[in-house]
Amino acid sequence: MLSEKEKAQRAAIHDMFAGIANRYDLLNHTLSLNIDKRWRRRVSAILKDILADPDAEILDIACGTGDLAIELASKGNAAVTGTDFCRPMLEIAAKKLPKVALVEADAMALPFPDNTFDAVTIAFGLRNLPNFANGLREMHRILRPGGRLVILEFSKTWLPGFGAMFNFYFSHILPRIGGAVSRSRSAYEYLPDSVSKFPDQQALAALVGQCGFSDVNYVDLTGGIAAVHTGTKA
């Protein structure tokens, strides 16, 4: 059950993504200089063994316009399903992903039975959920025992010099460009703001463990601008 505050937050996030859906892909790739594509390839590399299994089922949560689901579907034989609560984002995904099943659903209450999926992925989605721990518990619920969780998310950069430069770009330049192109300055101010409030690498690893996952690990990407966290349902 979501609190009233969490419900309001969820509605605001939904409307924000609905408002920028048409410009999302263009801005994603431009503002990240296409590095986001390399980051998504790390997720498929981590799941290589599961992707090779034609009987495996993978759910990409908060799939948005589908870029991670495309990457996963293109790298193996597993059945990939994408889910997101924002229909305008899913409509763009549907045009790009004729072979991937798409389900409109809230990540906080997924319409799948317990113990369904061999792997669950979420890229740049966890940070947007109204309650990170409850979202992670929902992912744990739908994974089969032995199933794997892979989270790709912005994190805390630690490289001296580069970190400061990146933070300046992320907090001051990106919101201006993103705001001008999407005509939603607030969406691109929300991005650095939400990253600053999101747990850093170690805190997120601890939270994933507290939500029932074992073998929790993470790897930094591009000096910690992003990180991939992994865990297993025992």
Ligand X SMILES: C[S@@+](CC[C@H](N)C(=O)[O-])C[C@H]1O[C@@H](n2cnc3c(N)ncnc32)[C@H](O)[C@@H]1O
Subset of 94-133 contacting ligand X (CB under 6 A): 106-108, 123-125, 128-129
Stretch that binds ligand X, among 49-57, 58-66, 137-145, 218-226 (CB under 6 A): 58-66
Give the phi and the psi of residue 144 in degrees, each rounded to 5. -75, 155
Closer of 5 and 160 to ligand X (Cβ): 5
- Report residue 218 as tokens: 């993470």
Residues 190/14, Cβ–Cβ less than 8 Å: no
Q: What is 22-44 written as a DSSP string?
A: HHHHHHHHHHTTTHHHHHHHHHH
For ligand X, the binding residue among 47, 57, 67, 120 (CB under 6 A) is 67
CB of 125 to ligand X, least distance (A): 4
Give the phi and the psi of residue 22 in degrees, each rounded to 5. -65, -25
How far apart, in whole angstroms, are the C-alpha atoms of residue 199 and residue 90? Answer: 27
CB of 42 to ligand X, least distance (A): 12
Three-state DSSP state, 85: coil
Residues 130-169, one symbol each (x = binds ligand X by CB under 6 A, - = not), give ----------------------------------------
Residues that bind ligand X (CB under 6 A): 10, 13, 17, 28, 62-64, 67-68, 84-86, 89, 106-108, 123-125, 128-129
